Structure 1
Amino acid sequence: MPSSTDYSMDAYNAQLQAKQQRLQQLLAPFTELQPEVFASAPQHFRLRAEFRIWFDNGIGHYAMFNPGDKRTPILMEQLPIASQLINQLMPKLKAAWQANSELSHRLFQVEFLTTLSGEALITLCYHRPLGDEWLAAAQPVAEQLGVQLIGRSRGKRLVLDKDYVTERLTVAGREYSYRQPEGAFTQPNGGVCQHMLNWAYEALGQQSDDLLELYCGNGNFTLPLSTRVRKVLATEISKTSVNAALANLDDNSISNIELVRLSAEELTQALNGVREFRRLASIELDDYQFGTVFVDPPRAGMDPDTCELVRRFDRILYISCNPETLAENIRQLSDTHRITRCALFDQFPWTEHIEAGVVLERV
């Protein structure tokens, strides 16, 4: 992001208002409700950042590129949208690789993952094989910076200690811990993520029946929502995310969640009796009394068959990272369900990106 960006509160509020108007326009055919708006901090909100390393006269610099232009680097020493911890680590890490050719040789990318709880994981990516020499050079740097450090090259990953950080988020007064593995999806804006979790917790309300969750990731929403229902069946297709979610269930001593590695499309086929899956062999689907389905799909939204599956539920709690596909899905559901609550979560300030949440209830 260019350093000339206007990070003033006036500029931020103007952009947030435009996003609110855009979301209202998309939802207008279905509701007159005004979305609740959850703003972000205008700076230091992003917990993840990825930089290319651009070498000039033997000096490696952090670099980003404008879309469509991979030849003109924007060199930077700091990134105002990144967390304060990332900005603190950037010059220290740069000094470390400049002082050691084993760390800088053919280094082409650096990825930072930080948490609100103060942990950091850094991945250094190389266009060369890595071995014991790299480990010996990296170990004192990890200790000096107080971070987890990983080296990546083609077909190789060297982990010094752990390949994850642990985030801590508070929902309705209870703190939850989340393992966030390297390379797995996590919400980039921790402050807004905490708003999302609390909004979903409140929007669901206390229920006496069960919850089905599709696209559960590392259990970000699953953990707090499990305290609002009798039990949860959650699905996720990514092995890395499933393993993190299982660890998170143990770490938080939550026992009313069954987690299955299935895509939303596969679960739809299973519930419709189209296919049987060995991964569901130990699950008695008939034992569940589903009243609510929670979905947090990718940008493409729900496919038509999954949309028809969620129509069966009295309550649909939908978090969307693409309001256009959200509106398309609501249109498919609008003959049986109506919006009773909606929200805008500004996960990505200084972009046009809109994150939204809606509650749909059977008419």
Structure 2
Amino acid sequence: MSSTFDPASYSRQLDEKADRLRELLKPFDAPEPQVFDSPREHYRLRAEFRLWRDDGKRHYAMFTPGDKYTPILINDFPIASLQINALMPVLRDRWEASKTLNHKLFQVDFLTTLAGDGMITLCYHRPLDDAWKLEAEQLAADLKVSVIGRSKGQRLVIGRDYVTEELDVAGRTFSYRQPEGAFTQPNGTVNQKMLSWAYDALGDREDDLLELYCGNGNFTLPLATRVRKVLATEISKTSVNAALSNLADNAVDNVSLVRLSAEELTEALNDVRPFRRLAGVDLKSYEFGSVFVDPPRAGMDPDTCELTRRFERILYISCNPETLAANIAQLHDTHRVERCALFDQFPYTHHMESGVLLVRR
């Protein structure tokens, strides 16, 4: 499958992905997947560029995998948001006009949202001083974004160290803090479609939900409105703090969030060993009917996969259809695939996001 940006071939590429998902799920008698497409352009809300000096000037640059010596110089970036494309030339002009901003600058990261918030991170091979801070403050004011300066042992924040996103699910708008450096879904439009699909697939429940790998609460917020209460887990401190803020900002009060890995929670639920981080959480008070998982590319480890088998319903979002299929194979004797979906988070690449609802036989 082509990985070239070519809007004219988008429909064909999406069909190829759908065929690939069908083939992977065919052994499990999965129904026809729902297919959720992406905008053809300007869908990516974040972008990271190395800078490359050429003709005495610094240029945005990217590299093909495995080749860090042959830069592809970037003037515009049509897969990135319109906001990123508007910021790129203005920022380049500013660093070219300023020795303070330019000196030993080697990387620029952009983070934007559908709600119009923006952040620029400038990375340096030198200490950042008061002169840099003054210029960065003016830059942030002029571009109406937050600016973060990074160098070895330093992180200077002008404005906020997060952007705010707003996503609509089932007629309600949820607000999200997305911290600098933390994982967020790059394609906001498709993310909103994923949230709506998961919300619908879970349905209104009168029991409780276990969520593994909750991140900043991306799925937690809408799913919490469908159940009695939620126990959510996440290992990243940054993501846990963002999730707690997001729960408070949205007045979602039926979620207990613990900083445990999925593997550790499996041990806790199996009474293998206690965890101080679970102090105050009465595991026996939960009546779990469903589990929601959104694991990393490696999928669920075998023990966590076995843990999910206990639940009537397993709602699974995957960024790697191969490991998703492997996990379904482990669960197929007790659970059937009731619904499945393809979410085109990454157009013009072989990567795809998918979702399944598994229900006990």
Post-superposition shift, 1:32?
Answer: 4.0
Q: 2:210·2:292 contact (CA, 8 Å) conserved in 1?
A: yes
Match of 2:157 among 156, 159, 162: 159
Give the structure 2 partner of residue 39 of structure 1.
37
Out of 29-38 and 85-94, give the one that drifted further. Answer: 29-38
The answer on whether the counterparts of 1:7 and 1:43 sit within 8 Å (CA) in structure 2 is: no
The residue identity in structure 2 corresponding to 1:265 is: E
CA contact (8 A) 1:53 1:61 kept: yes
Q: Does 1:210 align with 2:201?
A: no
| Alignment partner of 1:85 is 2:59 | no
Structure 1 residue 160: Cα displacement: 1.0
Q: What amino acid is the match of 2:119?
A: L
Superposition pairs of residues 66-215 of structure 1, within 5 angstroms: 66-215=64-213
Please say if residues 217 and 243 of structure 2, whose CA atoms lie closer than 8 Å, have aligned partners that are also in contact: yes
Q: Hey, what's the Cα distance between the residues in 2 that align with 1:283 and 1:244? A: 20
Query: Of 230, 237, 240, which aligns to 1:239?
Result: 237
Match of 2:339 in 1: 341
1:8 corresponds to which letter in structure 2? P
RMSD: 1.1
Question: What is the SS of the residue equivalent to 1:357?
Answer: strand
Contact 1:211 1:294 in 2 (8 A): yes
Asked whether the equivalents of residues 7 and 41 of structure 2 are also in contact (C-alpha less than 8 Å), the reply is: no
Deviation at 1:226, TM superposition (A): 0.3
Q: Give the C-alpha shift of residue 56 in structure 1.
A: 1.6
Aligned residue pair count: 360
1:226 is matched with 224
Q: Distance in 1 between matches of 2:4 and 2:139?
A: 33
Report the 3-state secondary structure (helix = DSSP H, G, I; strand = E; otherwise coil) of the residue aligned with 1:28. Answer: helix
For 1:251, the aligned partner's letter is D
Shift of 1:5: 4.3
Return the alpha-carbon distance in structure 2 between the equivalents of residues 274 and 206 of structure 1: 32
**Whole-angstrom distance in 2 between the partners of 1:77 and 1:181:** 27
Aligned-residue offset at 1:58? 2.4
Q: Which has the higher contact order (CA 8 A, sep 6+)?
A: 2
Matched residue SS, 1:228: coil
2:5, 2:348 within 8 Å by CA — same for their partners in 1? no
Which residue of the other structure, out of 296, 304, 307, is the alignment partner of 1:306? 304
Q: Distance in 2 between matches of 1:130 and 1:259?
A: 36
- Once residues 362 and 32 of structure 1 are traced to their aligned partners in structure 2, the CA distance between those partners, rounded to angstroms, is 14
Task: Identify the residue that residue 19 of structure 1 maps to in structure 2.
Answer: 17
Q: Which amino acid aligns with 1:89?
A: L
Distance 1:32 1:298 in 2: 23
SS at match of 2:122: strand
Preserved CA contact (<8 Å) 2:300 2:327: yes
TM-score, normalization: structure 1? 0.98
**Is the 8 Å Cα contact of residues 100 and 131 (structure 2) preserved in structure 1?**
yes
Q: Aligned match of 1:295 in 287, 293, 296?
A: 293
After superposition, give the CA deviation of every residue in 1:217-273 in whole Å (9 maximum; x if it has no partner): 000000000000000000000000000000001100110000000000000000001
Partner deviation per Cα, 1:13-32 (whole Å, 9 max, x = no partner): 01000000000000000024
Structure 1 counterpart SS, 2:225: helix
Spell out structure 1 runs of 4+ moving beyond 3 A.
Answer: none
| 1:327 shift after superposition | 0.2
Aligned equivalent of 1:273, options 271, 274, 283: 271
Contact between 2:37 and 2:343, CA under 8 Å: does it hold in 1?
yes
Q: Would you say the 8 A contact 1:165–1:181 is kept in 2?
A: yes
| Post-superposition CA distance 1:109-166 (Å, at most 9, x none) | 0000000000101000011111212101111111000000000001110001210000
**Matched AA of 1:341:** R
8 Å CA contact 2:30–2:337 kept in 1: the answer is no
Residue 328 (structure 2) aligns with: 330
- Show structure 1 runs of 5+ residues with no match: none
Task: State the percentage of identical aligned residues.
Answer: 68
Q: Distance in 1 between matches of 2:352 and 2:29?
A: 18
**Which SS does the other structure have where 2:28 is aligned?**
coil
Separation (CA, whole Å) in 1 of partners of 2:46 and 2:7: 22
Contact 2:101 2:132 in 1 (8 A): yes
Q: Is the 8 A contact 2:30 2:340 kept in 1?
A: no
Q: Is the contact between residue 208 and residue 227 of structure 2 (CA under 8 Å) also seen in structure 1? A: yes
- Take 1:35 and 1:155, find their aligned partners in 2: how far apart are those partners? 47
For 1:358, the aligned partner's letter is V
Query: What SS is found at the alignment partner of 2:196?
Result: helix
State the partner residue of 2:259: 261
Return the letter of the residue paired with 1:279. Answer: R
SS of the residue corresponding to residue 27 of structure 2 reads coil
Secondary structure of 2:299's match?
coil
> What TM-score does the superposition give when structure 2 sets the normalisation length?
0.98
